[in-house]
Structure 1
């Protein structure tokens, strides 16, 4: 891999942010798995438990927003974690159609046991970077995560704006046609002159 700032030309995969981020994610998950151990929480399980620990009673929709895990994966994950006794689900008091999730005592114990392991993994990951670049790296990751969090709302806003623009264009088109119709000279009946005899 070409180091940042190197004068060597970047090309192909070495110039692909998506590929480089994928490789970095693979490395981070490998380190996380080593630190968590074979019987530890997966990174996604940890993220769910951590999110629920900060606000009990979250719905699965809330958890999707809090963790960034897609809806179908999260539904399966919550079901498995509930079966393992890490989470408890109950009908939401806010929305009777939704299930609220909270930590079980076993889930709290698993989360407490995972915190030092996750912190060790995070230290190992950051130790791969020079000290002077760590804060900037975390800030960039936070910016990217913020963009990911904002993407659904931005997409909805863009769709709404496009629909509004289409309605306004249609309205303007109707008004233009109406004005053009009004500007056309009306046909007048031709009178036939009859000469007196």
Structure 2
């Protein structure tokens, strides 16, 4: 068996483990895994983001929904189309602007969000579990600043 050695990087060397993007990706992978295990319904985190944002703000244009959930136009369209196919969202022309499409929750979509808010909060709590309450607040404030 080949022996694997762990070496310290030489001074001034680029170390992947110290790079913000790499660490954020690892944390995101951990959070995504917790989400998939705990949400309790057949949704991706992006689908949950769309549903929960619609529950928060009500009907909105698909473009605005993409901005509000940090998704590009093609991605939010795909997510909304899948949710609409499942009867969780409804798309209708904007009565004030025929070029725009308004996305809203159906009663089934609203009920699904309401039924899973506790799990969503538990997912956040588990993701942040290694941190003290003070560190959680600091971490969230710093992430918000970087957004």
Corresponding residue of 1:171: none
Corresponding residue of 1:45: 47
TM-score (norm: length of structure 2): 0.85
RMSD: 1.7
SS in 1 for 2:96: coil
Q: Who wins on radius of gyration, i.e. which is larger?
A: 1
Q: Distance in 1 between matches of 2:93 and 2:128?
A: 41
Residue 98 of structure 1 and its aligned partner are, at CA, apart by: 1.3
Corresponding residue of 1:101: 103
Is 1:88 aligned to residue 90 of structure 2?
A: yes
Instruction: Tell me which protein shows more helix as a share of its residues.
Output: 1
Corresponding residue of 2:139: 137
Map of 1:50-89 to 2, 5 A cutoff?
50-89=52-91
Q: Distance in 2 between matches of 1:10 and 1:29?
A: 31
Is 1:29 aligned to residue 35 of structure 2?
A: no
How many residues align? The count is 136
Residue 65 of structure 1 and its aligned partner are, at CA, apart by: 1.1
TM-score (norm: length of structure 1): 0.65
Residue 11 of structure 1 and its aligned partner are, at CA, apart by: 4.6
Structure 1 residue ranges without an equivalent (≥5): 1-8, 146-197
Q: Deviations over 1:137-193 (max 9, x none)?
A: 010111122xxxxxxxxxxxxxxxxxxxxxxxxxxxxxxxxxxxxxxxxxxxxxxxx
- Higher RCO (CA 8 Å, separation ≥ 6 residues): 2
Q: Distance in 1 between matches of 2:96 and 2:126?
A: 41
Residue 54 of structure 1 and its aligned partner are, at CA, apart by: 2.3
Residue 18 of structure 1 and its aligned partner are, at CA, apart by: 0.8
Is 1:119 aligned to residue 121 of structure 2?
A: yes
SS in 2 for 1:100: strand
Q: Distance in 2 between matches of 1:120 and 1:47?
A: 15
